[in-house]
Amino acid sequence: MYIRDYTFSDKKETIKMIKQTIQEVNKNDYSKAQLTAWSSIDEYSWKASLKDYSAVVMVNDWNNKIIGFADMDNKGYLDQFSCTSIFKIRP
């Protein structure tokens, strides 16, 4: 895995990964309605939501697929972090 700066050409793959992760990781803890609301990411406002943040993606070096995303403001506030459910720790 390697970490690189997020670019807006990563948008579709990143949003898809986040939505799938929300649906998979949280399916036993939240209702279907809650999961749907949480994973309803507006692709049109995505760019605006990142304007005050530095964003990175984590990339699988075997297949160059995005496996994680994070963004942080210039004061160190971590706004979002998501890692694909494929790599979640299992009990």
pLDDT score, position 44: 86
Domain span including residue 61: 2-87
Eight-state DSSP code of residue 84: -
Instruction: Specify the CATH number for the domain of residue 45.
Output: 3.40.630.30
Residue type, 43: E
pLDDT score, position 90: 53
Total structural domains within the chain: 1
- Give residue-wise pLDDT tens across range 3-54: 999 999 999 999 999 999 999 888 999 999 999 999 999 888 898 889 899 9
The C-alpha angle with vertex 44 and arms to 37 and 60, in degrees rounded to 5, equals: 80
Helix (H, G, I), strand (E, B) or coil at 3: strand
- Give residue-wise pLDDT tens across range 54-83: 999 999 999 999 999 999 999 999 999 999
Query: DSSP string of 35-54?
Result: HHHHT---HHHHHHHTTTSE
Q: Is the pLDDT of residue 87 over 80?
A: no
Listed residue (65, 55, 54) closest to 1, CA to CA: 65
The pTM of this model reads 0.87
